[in-house]
Structure 1
Amino acid sequence: MKNLVWDKIKLLFPLSNNTMLVDLITLGKNTIFRNIPNVRNARVRGKYGEAEYQKLVNKFSKIPIDPIHTNIVVKDIVSNLFSGIPRWRSPFLQYNVGAAANVAASAMYALALDENIYNINDGLAGNALVAELAVTNILTKLADIKGTNPYGIFTFGGTATNMYAMKVGIRKASPTSAKDGTPQNTWILVTQDAHFSHAVAADWLGVGTGHIEIIDPKQNRESNLQDAERKVRKIIEEGGLFATIIVNGGTTYSHTVDNIQEFVELRNKLVTEYALDYTPHLHVDSVIGWAWLFFKDYDFESNPLELSKPCIENIKQQYDRIKYINLADSWGVDFHKGVGACPVDCSLVIFNDFTSIARLSKKDSPSTDPHQLAQEFSFSNPVDYTLETSRAGATSLAALTSLQTMGITGYQRSLANLVEMSLLMRKRFSNEQGVIISNEGSRGYVTMIRLIPPTLTPDKVEKFNEEVNSYNKSFYKWDLETRMSRNEGVEYSYSGSFIVGEDGTNIGAQKFYLVSPHVDKNIIIDTVSTVMAQKEVFDREIWNK
């Protein structure tokens, strides 16, 4: 009996080249697709929700005494726990800024996970470390970074890319902070439309959310340079350490890119004027906006992809802003967002000059010497600078695979299609009664709309935002419960705080995020007609009652 169990266990760790991994993945895929009656379904069909969730927690919170056959386990887990998962390749899933995974990138990801590659040093990763360097080189060439020694690190998400930037800024402002801790007078500047993860990173790094200064936006949602200058001057003049400034490189709701060049010039001017003995770190949160770098050498005049004039104008305007990312100190890339086409998580933070990331070296303190890793016998040791010790080699290998299999033209076409279809969506929504396009000037591929209640009358104008917010939230909840939760047609999402109004009111809006390469004109027409048909029913049967 003892040997029989042991023989079964050893089968789970095959030494030879067999088909067990492929067979199990095939079984899992077949099980998934039995619950996808229509390949355009936004989610995998099955029971899911709060009540079902707790049942499944109870069901799977038990470990068997004896091993269960792999086929039974895989089929059981996939059948139950994959119910309700989003299908990012579906054109009807317009829920958020996820990514439709390139199947070649997914295969490479799975292979690397099966071989369990640790991107710690060459001793634990072999040649797999090359992928991280190669992807960094590809992107820094697209960003036209010259004359420096850029360095990139794959990390655990967009949150981490911002955290790395903040940490380097703290080290620049306070070189002894590794030993003494983060000084209490440290400040971080972020934008009003920044992702919430900026505040999370400040909290986790010990800066504190109370030491975040928020830059007010202009009407077009770009960050106000004059407001930033006033706030930085105040920090410096009151004895604070202005460690890091993070500017927009493609915001979540409007894909806004700040004037990077002006912010760099402001930072440099203040360093000189106040004779600072450090240079605050300037980071661009470009985990969405980096993709426009693929248009670096695109011929906008001849327009070989034959894009529409509005589309090509939007792309050129966006590229003409993001290209100044080469003036920043660091920037972020998410391959698991938008057109990145990789499995989650797959994020990269790039430092345009190696001297910035070098400030995080563990060699500077005996207490952080990674002697357990025998790195003196390795010629490549990214672990010397990373927050994580163990990093999966799968991420950089998947990114490299996606870049190679899609190429520049493939990424250009994928991004252009999303922009083109978003323009069409806004146009069709704008032709409908009772709809306001909330991000009309966006150059990206997200559409934010506010539906106007039929009961809004002139005497309620003063309470316009309150009334419209209530209506939109109620409509979304109703559409989610009566249609989207049944996996019928398009699935979008809702934000209760798309922007903050001039009166301080949070502005809510419906959010349509196009990420699938299968989105086309017919999908857009269907999306708009579905929403408007639902609005008609909601107004008649729910709201007016």
Structure 2
Amino acid sequence: MASQKQTLTSLPQVSSEIASPEVAPSVWRRQLDALKASFPSPWREPDRDQSFEQMFARAVGMINALKQPPAGTDAAKSYLGKVDLPDYSKCHEARLAPRMMPQEQVLAELASLFDGMPVWNHPYTMANVIPPANTPSIIGAAMAGVFSPNIIEGEYSWNVAKTELEAAAMVAAMIGWDPQTAGGLFTFGGTGCYLYGTKYALTRVLGPESRKRGIRVDGQILVSAEGHYVKDNCSDWTGLGSGNVREIQVDEQNRMSIPHLKQVLEECRREGKPVVMVVCTMGTTDAFAIDPIREVREILDSYENAGGCPRPLLYADAVIGWSWLAFKHYDFERNPLQFSAEALAKIRRNAEQMADLIYADAIGCDFHKTGWSPYNCSLFMVKDYKLFAKMLERPAPAYLQDRTAYNPGHYTLETSRSAAYSTAAWSTLKLLGYEGFQVMLGRIIEVEVYFRKVLAEMPNMVCVNPTENGFVTLFRVYPEWVDAKAQYQRELSDPGAREDLYWYNMLQQNVANKLFAMLRDPDQRVEGWEYPPYTSFTAGYRPTSYAPGETDKRYWVYGLKSYPMSPYCDERAMLMAAMYARKACQLVIEEQLAMHAARAAQQQAAAGAEPGADTSANWFGDNILIPLKYLVQQ
């Protein structure tokens, strides 16, 4: 006992002389030793390190085992494992077990939950702006998971913080901003970027004191009618109120109307309500509309805000479109990547419009959309980073001290902030470079050029966004006897075809339901037409040209959607998408005719009654019974 006391009170000559204290054996220590095997070793121990690596590889292998074979009918399945729909009804019964579970069993159960997940890099997966993640970005995010760098400050992220600083510098240079004065922060998706933009705008325009006393002024946010619905989220969550968001009308290309913007700005000034932020959407989800941000900048530069407030912040919601900046230095005359003439013209147009991002004050960029990185991974960029940090700075708690030169936790929304976002994005930027982005983006345009040619050759199909050059093709399918191009033009421009538009909208909705049912419902699988491409649907692409202010979305243009985001998606995949849409339309019409016949035979429908709906598979809305005159040639 005396020697132990001596050990505790005496300072050894060197630290290596400090002996480990003797401790009594116990059950918890034995269990702890077992549990340590479920954590990576803190030292370079080949056996334990190899065990961790193998466990990681086995887990990935469990998910890979759910993939479909590369040949045969099952190769067309664009999801992992079985088709069964998820059953969430018993999730509330989950309870914490009294004992530990072996990590192999945990991972096996975890892998089983991926059963039925869409495979985003499958050539037939084209449902949304959801790309597969590239391998370095996946591993980069996973590496952050191993050692948990936290970019609240440099102390907890050390050199890993460079991934945020360097990625922001690379993107700033792509934009055309000075990387020495511009900067960025990685955050939780496009909503996080928009929220940062909203808060920065409120503080810049209403003054830093608004952070203490609260928002006491009806500051206005102006955004196009086609802007993302996150405008309501962020105005709500910041306390500004979604009622202070004003929508700007759009033109025929779904771009913000400059005349209407000027009108609304003047209205705000007359009402004494300062405009805190104008949002230009640089690539809408459906139409890939790019707002005229250069013209907006010119207007705001001379705008006198209400109440003597500073001019509004110009925020660019470029979460989809930002990566077109990769064509900044492309030689369109020499065309070194040999894009087709049709594709090159579209690429050039996108690049020219996106170059105007330089006029924004702040920009949102999603790497998990057009950066082919894992969810979620978004970068909020500001032109004047020092001003942004100063505006949002807050006192640090006593238990945190700055030990490095980079400590964004003083002004970020998040305090703890994983480096997984920045490591994934940094890895992507390093992997792709300008040329890699050019190849990935150019491929999308090339296959869409092909797809639109296919639609043009099919009499009963029509592309409804032929002049748009984004990541999506929107199209409609009609009965085989209908001239789709002529019919759609009537629906779009002739008030007398208003009811035609409605009922053929219902047909699009029913076809979308059928395609999803063919893909996911074993009871509706069609022999010889198994596993259609995983496409999607929109019930609000655009209003008609004769009723631009239409509020009843049933009389907007509906359309089927194809987003060929996977690098494996090729011309054959696009041809399959068109053919499956035609087949689904045939099947829907057959079912509709059978329903009409059954109703007539059973005299269930009185004369003049409104046709009913079938809600048995309402993936995208009810399967509406359509009048016969729209289904069969009269």
TM-score of the aligned structures, taking structure 1 as reference length? 0.93
Shift of 1:336: 0.2
State the distance in 1 between where 2:100 and 2:591 align: 55
Partner secondary structure for residue 99 of structure 1: coil
Structure 1 gap segments, 5+ residues each = 364-368
My pick for the range that moved more, 212-221 or 140-149, is: 140-149
2:511 matched residue in structure 1:
475
Shift of 1:482: 2.6
1:390 matched residue in structure 2:
416
Q: Closer, same or farther in 2 for the Cα pair 1:132/1:266, shift >3 Å?
A: same
Instruction: Give yes or no for the alignment of 1:342 onto 2:373.
Output: yes
1:42 matched residue in structure 2:
78
Alignment partner of 1:195 out of 199, 218, 228: 228
Please show how residues 131-530 of structure 1 align to structure 2 within 5 Å: 131-146=163-178, 149-175=181-207, 176-271=209-304, 276-338=308-370, 340-363=371-394, 369-372=395-398, 374-453=400-479, 461-485=497-521, 488-501=531-544, 502=548, 503-506=550-553, 507=556, 508-530=558-580
Alignment partner of 2:584 out of 529, 534, 540: 534
CA RMSD of aligned residues (A): 2.2
Residues matched between the structures, number = 534
Shift of 1:540: 2.7
Shift of 1:504: 3.1
Does the CA-based 8 Å contact 2:471-2:563 persist in structure 1?
yes
- Counterpart residue type for residue 72 of structure 1: Q
Please show how residues 45-194 of structure 1 align to structure 2 within 5 Å: 45-46=81-82, 48-50=84-86, 52-55=87-90, 57=91, 61-79=94-112, 81-146=113-178, 149-175=181-207, 176-194=209-227
Does the CA-based 8 Å contact 1:315-1:443 persist in structure 2?
yes
Partner secondary structure for residue 279 of structure 2: strand
Does the CA-based 8 Å contact 1:91-1:519 persist in structure 2?
yes
Partner secondary structure for residue 511 of structure 1: strand
Alignment partner of 1:16 out of 43, 48, 61: 43
Shift of 1:527: 1.9
- Counterpart residue type for residue 239 of structure 1: G
Shift of 1:494: 1.4
State the distance in 1 between where 2:476 and 2:240 align: 36
State the distance in 2 between where 1:269 and 1:330 align: 19
Shift of 1:462: 3.0
- Counterpart residue type for residue 314 of structure 2: L
Q: Closer, same or farther in 2 for the Cα pair 1:218/1:359, shift >3 Å?
A: farther
State the distance in 2 between where 1:342 and 1:509 align: 28
Does the CA-based 8 Å contact 1:122-1:379 persist in structure 2?
yes
State the distance in 2 between where 1:492 and 1:216 align: 29
State the distance in 2 between where 1:21 and 1:44 align: 25
Shift of 1:28: 2.3
- Counterpart residue type for residue 58 of structure 2: L
State the distance in 2 between where 1:516 and 1:147 align: 31
State the distance in 2 between where 1:184 and 1:515 align: 43
Output one character per residue of 1:267-296: Cα deviation in whole Å (capped at 9) or x when no partner: 112138x79441210011101111110001
My pick for the range that moved more, 151-160 or 532-541, is: 532-541
- Counterpart residue type for residue 591 of structure 2: E
Does the CA-based 8 Å contact 1:118-1:125 persist in structure 2?
yes
- Counterpart residue type for residue 389 of structure 2: A
Does the CA-based 8 Å contact 2:172-2:183 persist in structure 1?
no
Does the CA-based 8 Å contact 2:172-2:179 persist in structure 1?
no
Shift of 1:489: 3.3
My pick for the range that moved more, 493-502 or 447-456, is: 447-456
Output one character per residue of 1:395-417: Cα deviation in whole Å (capped at 9) or x when no partner: 11111111112221111001100
1:26 matched residue in structure 2:
57
Does the CA-based 8 Å contact 2:80-2:118 persist in structure 1?
yes
Does the CA-based 8 Å contact 1:168-1:356 persist in structure 2?
no
Does the CA-based 8 Å contact 1:453-1:468 persist in structure 2?
no
Does the CA-based 8 Å contact 1:168-1:360 persist in structure 2?
yes
Shift of 1:377: 2.9
Partner secondary structure for residue 250 of structure 1: coil
Shift of 1:19: 2.8
Q: Closer, same or farther in 2 for the Cα pair 1:468/1:371, shift >3 Å?
A: same
Q: Max radius of gyration: which structure?
A: 2
My pick for the range that moved more, 500-509 or 448-457, is: 448-457
State the distance in 2 between where 1:290 and 1:330 align: 12
Q: Closer, same or farther in 2 for the Cα pair 1:252/1:224, shift >3 Å?
A: same
State the distance in 1 between where 2:519 and 2:200 align: 47
TM-score of the aligned structures, taking structure 2 as reference length? 0.80
Q: Closer, same or farther in 2 for the Cα pair 1:253/1:317, shift >3 Å?
A: same
State the distance in 1 between where 2:60 and 2:521 align: 22
Higher relative contact order (CA 8 A, sep 6+): 1
Shift of 1:243: 0.2
Does the CA-based 8 Å contact 2:300-2:312 persist in structure 1?
yes
Output one character per residue of 1:411-457: Cα deviation in whole Å (capped at 9) or x when no partner: 10011001111121122122223323121111112011122356989
Does the CA-based 8 Å contact 2:314-2:361 persist in structure 1?
yes
Q: Closer, same or farther in 2 for the Cα pair 1:485/1:133, shift >3 Å?
A: farther
- Counterpart residue type for residue 200 of structure 1: N
State the distance in 2 between where 1:543 and 1:222 align: 41
Does the CA-based 8 Å contact 2:274-2:309 persist in structure 1?
no
The percent identity for this pair of structures is 23
State the distance in 1 between where 2:60 and 2:593 align: 42
State the distance in 2 between where 1:398 and 1:485 align: 35
Does the CA-based 8 Å contact 1:95-1:511 persist in structure 2?
yes
Shift of 1:73: 1.1
Shift of 1:469: 1.9
1:366 matched residue in structure 2:
none
Shift of 1:4: 2.9
- Counterpart residue type for residue 493 of structure 1: S
Q: Closer, same or farther in 2 for the Cα pair 1:113/1:147, shift >3 Å?
A: closer
State the distance in 2 between where 1:349 and 1:58 align: 37
State the distance in 1 between where 2:391 and 2:445 align: 38
2:599 matched residue in structure 1:
none
Shift of 1:219: 0.7
State the distance in 2 between where 1:284 and 1:355 align: 19
- Counterpart residue type for residue 380 of structure 1: Y
My pick for the range that moved more, 441-450 or 430-439, is: 430-439
Partner secondary structure for residue 218 of structure 1: coil
